[in-house]
Amino acid sequence: LRLYEMFLGPVEQSKPWDTKGIDGVNRFLKKFWRLFYDSDRCLVEDGEPSAEELKVLHRLIGKEEADILSFSFNTTISAFMIAVNELTALGCHKKAILEQLVILLSPFAPHICEELWERLAHSGSVSFAPFPEYVEAYTVEDSCTYAVSFNGKTRFTLDLPKSLSREEVEKNVRELPQTAKYVGGQTIVKVIVVPGKIVNIVIR
């Protein structure tokens, strides 16, 4: 109920009451719980978080920090729902990530977070745990989307690491099955690479 009331919208505005919304928040909390448990089986594991998991976590930390200052609790909860979906898709059960999530959610859903905090072998209340520190470096996108064109006409897009050189980008594009399809029996005359944006293959 506490979480639902904050999820309804900006605190200073009047909002319609809809019990379907309570069901949605309840489903979110169950999904959050399933990051930790499958029935009675604990899923929490040690291990270093991946770059993608850290990106999800720190995007959420940054969002919550800003939203709490402006009392925009509803948008924090929306961001939390997105983060839980992303971590579920990643199969994340890392203790280093989940502990921080418990702290982040505790102002909104204190009861479930106190329970999980104790199950994670912590003594004392989660409300005394320090707020996670936001690290911007974890949220920096390390890939970019290239529009791949043939004689100036875009045919598909490709995500590649930003760190690749022009030569490496060209090599990746040349090796794609889609490239072979659009080149057909023609000859590649030139490949123009605009870093981070476009690859144009000139054929004849």
- Beta carbons of 193 and 170 less than 8 angstroms apart: yes
Instruction: Flag whether pLDDT at 131 surpasses 80.
Output: yes
- Which class for 130: exposed (0-12), middle (13-18), buried (19 or more C-beta within 10 A)? exposed
Instruction: Give me the percent of the chain exceeding a pLDDT of 70.
Output: 100
Residue given tokens 């023609």 in the structure block: 186
Instruction: Give me the percent of the chain exceeding a pLDDT of 90.
Output: 81
Instruction: Flag whether pLDDT at 32 surpasses 80.
Output: yes
pLDDT of residue 193: 97
Which tens digits make up the pLDDT trace of 58-84?
A: 999 999 999 999 999 999 999 999 999
Q: How many CB atoms lie within 10 A of CB 72?
A: 19
Measured CA to CA, the distance from residue 6 to residue 109 in angstroms comes to 10
Residue given tokens 């980008």 in the structure block: 169
pLDDT of residue 18: 78
Measured CA to CA, the distance from residue 152 to residue 182 in angstroms comes to 12
This prediction's pTM: 0.72
Cα dihedral across residues 141, 53, 106, 3: positive or negative: positive
Name which of 32, 50, 38, 47 is nearest 88 in CA terms. 32
- Beta carbons of 32 and 60 less than 8 angstroms apart: no
- Contact residues for 19 (Cβ-Cβ < 8 A; gap 6+): none
Rounded average pLDDT over 144-155: 95
Which amino acid type is present at position 28? F
Instruction: Flag whether pLDDT at 20 surpasses 80.
Output: no
Q: CA neighbours within 13 Å on the CB side: how many for 25?
A: 19
Instruction: Flag whether pLDDT at 128 surpasses 90.
Output: yes
**Helices within the chain (DSSP H only):** 2-7, 19-33, 51-69, 73-89, 95-105, 110-119, 166-174, 177-183
Residue given tokens 């709490």 in the structure block: 68
Q: 198-203 and 188-194 as β-strands: parallel, antiparallel, unpaired? A: antiparallel
Q: How many CB atoms lie within 10 A of CB 188?
A: 14
Which tens digits make up the pLDDT trace of 21-30?
A: 789 899 999 9
